[in-house]
């Protein structure tokens, strides 16, 4: 009697049109989350006047959003496994959309902080659960192409957010920086409920409340401390205490997770070499490269004296490079594999960061646009490569936990990148001289060291690592 082996039937195999629909709806969530991380920055002066507060206190509206994300991302995978990916993803989109409406209706700073925190909660569940839903919808062989388009907003959002915020604030009203989310959010909810499978894993797993508190508040305090290093809102001793408390809670969780039956964050994932390299070493590289969207527009306007429009147009060249080059990235992975591509992109990223030191106000705008294009290309190659490597060898039963942990580390690498860049600007400025072109040159030279710190991890990869996703293994077999 012949035994027929049954393989999992993925959503995209049952309905080919879902190969476009699912990545698009997840991309909508990514775009809204990334835009709202940065779009408020250029609107701060107008919002502070409208709400009768100071621009400095407006920093709380930014950190409330980021801190809630850092706190709740770790448990997003558990909620998806317990209640179903479709329900949690749609609910998160709805929470994010409603809170966007409330942000635009805010009449005081405390109200804005409260609804920004609610928006951060929606974002914390929205993006990692959306990523998990997509991973479970595609076979591994098709995942790379889908992830290419899904992660595009994660790179483009921080680049266009400040420009879009400035345009809406100047030509409309600051409240529209939040209301612009509403139509996309409502469409996302309807499409998610219609087309995403309600996948779930072990529904008997208990919620690790002690572990959640340790990880959540550890990330919260650590993130708050880093934010204050670049934008101090509390005294220096308090910043040190907050950072120490955050690090202490995470260290406590590390010991706790060794004996916990179902820890909130599964640290055993780091035993998988590709996940460890893609998240930790890839995160180090991303911290250096994630400072660019913050530093470059500021350098062009403050250091080089450009108008916001000119600086925005040059910055958009970086986003344009991502759109132009991403279709070629699957070919590069098949041709060279993860090991070569990640090492080369890290070195190229370091050289490009250092190269900013040789730019000055007299540099032609066309050259600055080309340079921004090259920087965007390097960032997209590095980000996609490390993202895909992280999931390439994770067992199917651990995908939800891997998604949660990766989401935490990715979010922290984004915020740490901006905070480290801001911190370096503050340290380089002496005697209250203010920001100058020379200040930015020094900061970019220091930042160029960060991507190089990832090289030991990337060099430890084997040629065949992640081959099931990249397709590089087929080239090795053909060569043999």
pTM confidence score: 0.72
Q: Would you call 65 helix, strand, or coil by DSSP? A: helix
Q: Are residues 218 and 344 in the same domain?
A: no
Per-residue confidence (pLDDT) for residue 343, from 0 to 100: 92
Count of domains for the chain = 3
- Residues 131 and 27: beta-carbon distance below 8 Å: no
Q: Do 120 and 75 belong to one domain?
A: yes
In 420-444, which positions are buried (b, 16+ CB within 10 angstroms) versus exposed (e)?
bbbbbbeebeeeeeebeeebbbbbb
Mean pLDDT computed over every residue of the chain: 79
Do 124 and 216 fall within a single domain?
Answer: no
Rounded average pLDDT over 152-181? 75
Same domain, 372 and 426: yes
Same domain, 374 and 329: yes
Angle at 75 between CA 133 and CA 212, to 5 degrees: 170
169 belongs to a structural domain: yes
Q: In the structure, what pLDDT confidence band is assigned to residue 5 with cuts at 50, 70 and 90? A: very low
432: left (phi over 0), alpha (psi -120 to 50) or beta: left
Give the span between the Cα atoms of 70 and 72, in whole angstroms. Answer: 6
Residue 157, number of CB atoms within 10 A of its CB: 23
Average pLDDT for residues 466-473, to the nearest whole number? 70
**How does residue 2 score in pLDDT terms, banded at 50, 70 and 90?**
very low
Residue 404 lies in a domain: yes
Residues 235 and 302 both lie in one domain: no
Q: Are residues 158 and 41 in the same domain?
A: yes
Residue 451 has a pLDDT of: 92
Identify the pLDDT of residue 11.
Answer: 67
Parent domain of 236: 209-261
Question: Do 181 and 215 share a domain, yes or no?
Answer: no
Residue of 158 and 216 predicted with greater confidence: 216
Taking each helix axis from N to C end, the angle separating 85-104 and 109-135, rounded to the nearest 10 degrees, works out to 150
CATH number for the domain harbouring residue 142: 1.20.1250.20
Confidence of residue 356 (pLDDT cuts 50, 70, 90): very high
Identify whether residues 270 and 184 lie together within a single domain: no
Collapsed DSSP state (helix, strand, coil) of residue 260:
coil
- Residue 152 pLDDT level (bands cut at 50, 70, 90): low
Same domain, 407 and 310: yes
Scored b (16 or more CB within 10 A) or e, 85-106 reads: bbbbbbbbbbbbbbbbebbbeb
Q: What is the pLDDT of residue 4?
A: 45
Q: Per mean pLDDT, which of 111-115, 399-403, 473-477 is the most reliable?
A: 111-115
Maximum separation of any 2 CA atoms in the chain, in Å: 85
DSSP 3-state of 287: helix
Lowest-pLDDT choice from 85-99, 292-306, 356-370: 292-306
Same domain, 370 and 316: yes
Does position 200 have pLDDT exceeding 70, yes or no?
Answer: no
Q: What percent of the chain has pLDDT over 70?
A: 82
- Do 358 and 213 fall within a single domain? no
Domain boundary among 225, 240, 261: 261
Which residue, of 202, 225, 245, is where some domain finishes?
202
pLDDT of residue 355: 93
Instruction: Give the tens place of pLDDT for each residue, 224-263.
Output: 787 677 567 778 889 899 999 999 998 999 899 888 877 8
């Amino acid at each position: 009697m012949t035994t027929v082996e049954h393989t999992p039937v993925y959503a995209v195999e049952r309905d080919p049109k879902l190969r476009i629909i699912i990545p698009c709806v997840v991309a909508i969530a990514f775009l809204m989350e990334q835009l709202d991380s940065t779009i408020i920055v250029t609107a701060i002066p107008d919002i502070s006047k409208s709400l009768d507060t100071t621009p400095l206190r407006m920093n709380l509206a930014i950190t409330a959003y980021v801190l809630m994300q850092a706190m709740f991302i770790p448990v997003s995978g558990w909620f998806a496994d317990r209640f179903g990916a479709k329900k949690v993803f749609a609910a998160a989109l709805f929470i994010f959309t409603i809170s966007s409406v409330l942000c635009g209706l805010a009449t005081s700073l405390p109200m804005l902080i409260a609804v920004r925190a609610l928006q951060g909660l929606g974002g914390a569940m929205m993006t990692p659960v959306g990523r998990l839903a997509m991973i479970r919808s595609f076979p591994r062989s098709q995942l790379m192409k889908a992830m290419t388009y899904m992660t595009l907003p994660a790179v483009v959002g921080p680049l266009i957010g400040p420009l879009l915020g400035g345009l809406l604030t100047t030509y409309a009203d600051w409240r529209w920086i939040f209301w612009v989310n509403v139509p996309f959010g409502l469409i996302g909810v309807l499409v998610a409920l219609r087309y995403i499978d309600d996948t779930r894993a072990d529904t008997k797993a208990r919620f690790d409340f002690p572990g959640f508190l340790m990880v959540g508040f550890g990330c919260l305090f650590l993130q708050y401390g880093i934010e204050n290093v670049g934008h101090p809102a509390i005294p220096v001793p308090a910043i040190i205490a907050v950072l120490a408390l955050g690090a202490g809670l995470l260290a406590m969780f590390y010991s706790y997770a060794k004996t916990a039956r179902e820890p909130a964050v599964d640290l055993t994932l780091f035993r998988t070499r590709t996940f460890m390299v893609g998240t930790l070493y890839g995160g180090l590289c991303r911290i250096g490269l994630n400072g660019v969207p913050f530093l470059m527009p500021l350098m062009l306007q403050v250091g080089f004296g450009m108008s916001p429009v000119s600086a925005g147009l040059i910055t958009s060249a970086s986003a344009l490079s991502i759109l132009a080059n991403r279709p070629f990235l699957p070919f590069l992975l098949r041709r060279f594999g993860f090991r070569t591509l990640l090492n080369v992109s890290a070195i190229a990223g370091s050289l490009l960061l250092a190269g900013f030191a040789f730019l000055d106000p007299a540099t032609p705008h066309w050259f600055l646009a080309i340079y921004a294009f090259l920087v965007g290309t390097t960032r997209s190659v590095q980000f996609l490569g490390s993202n895909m490597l992280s999931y390439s060898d994770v067992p199917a039963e651990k995908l939800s936990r891997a998604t949660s942990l990766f989401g935490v580390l990715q979010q922290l690498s984004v915020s740490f990148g901006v905070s480290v860049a801001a911190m370096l600007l503050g340290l380089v400025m002496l005697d209250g001289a203010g920001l100058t072109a020379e200040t930015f040159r020094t900061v970019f030279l220091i930042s160029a060291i960060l991507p190089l710190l990832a090289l030991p991890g990337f060099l430890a990869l084997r040629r065949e690592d992640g081959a099931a996703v990249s397709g590089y293994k087929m080239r090795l077999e053909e060569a043999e």
